[in-house]
Chains A and B, each alone.
Chain A
Amino acid sequence: MNMYAVIFYLLAVIIVAFTVMAITRKNVMHAIVFLVGSFIGSSLLFYLLGAPFLAILEVVIYAGAIMVLFLFIVMMLEIKVEDIDLWPFLRQWFLPLGLAGTCFIVMFALILLESGSSLSLPLVMASPAAFGRFLFQKYWLGVEIASYLLFVALVGALYLGRSEKTGD
């Protein structure tokens, strides 16, 4: 096991720990802060997997824009800490956790049964310039559609967020 593999497993443990902490918090604010840590860990993992441009985007978009949007909404709505206790209602968690466990076992078996999955990944890096050229040569239509999607989302958010008094 070389140093890169050690870094990979370390990052994997950090990401899973942060995500578990995030999804079990009662206070939404704490959950969001833990999730920022999880996304920064994924960004480092993207860098390790040879995608430096996506690593930057992960920090800028996920940890930056999306999580700050969540924070603003949480602060704006003055959300109280959920008064329900998380553990007495294990009954409610029982079915989702059981289903997730079953899915995980099946997925684990499928991944391990697939031939060539034990192949070790070569250490390469896609430079941002090469990636950008590839994206705009082969997927320019997809980029246009994504920009339309973002525009429609902007219009939809503005429409939903308009105030009742001035709107009709």
Chain B
Amino acid sequence: MVTLVPYSHVLILAAILFLLGAACAVARRNLIMILIGVEVMLSAAGLAFVGASMRWQQLDGQAFVIFIMAVAASEVAVGLALIVYSRRRTGTLDANRYNLMKG
């Protein structure tokens, strides 16, 4: 029987990708780069789900990736609309410059 790599290697790849995305979301100060980091994290979670689906021979993992994609798409739509809105309001995309409160 032909086999692929051990299950742990898929999980480790997903973990590396997730941490890269998390580091990007935490360290970068450009709003668009923060959103890109979140996208990378969601994609890594999907990879772990597909690997688990193959490990247990159940389709549930693949079904969840569909929902992850729906969440990613709606998150990006609302997130980019918010970015455009805040850019229009403040004229900058730097998260460090958002230091004013109204009231």
Contact = CB atoms under 8 A, between A and B. Distances in A.
A122 B93 contact: no
A4 B75 CA distance: 34
A15 B81 CA distance: 28
Interface residues of A, number: 85
Interface residues of B, number: 69
B2 interface: yes
Taking chain A's interface residues, is the majority helix, strand, or loop, or is none over half, making it mixed? Answer: helix
Contacts, number: 234
Contacts of A58: 43, 46, 69
A59 B55 CA distance: 23
B72 to A, nearest CB: 7
A120 B6 contact: yes
Contacts of A28: 30, 32-33
Interface string B36-68: 110110010011001101110101101101110
A121 B74 contact: no
Interface in B1-56: 1-13, 15-17, 19-24, 26-30, 32-33, 35-37, 39-40, 43, 46-47, 50-51, 53-55
A118 B6 contact: yes
B64 to A, nearest CB: 8
Interface string A85-117: 000000011001101100110011001101011
A150 B67 CA distance: 11
B7 A121 contact: yes
Q: Which of A58, A62, A82, A160 has the most C-beta atoms of chain B within 10 angstroms of its own C-beta?
A: A160
B84 A23 contact: no
Contacts of B21: 19, 23
Interface of B: 1-13, 15-17, 19-24, 26-30, 32-33, 35-37, 39-40, 43, 46-47, 50-51, 53-55, 57, 59-60, 62-63, 65-67, 69-78, 80-85, 87-88, 93
5 contacts: A31-B33, A62-B43, A66-B73, A142-B67, A150-B74
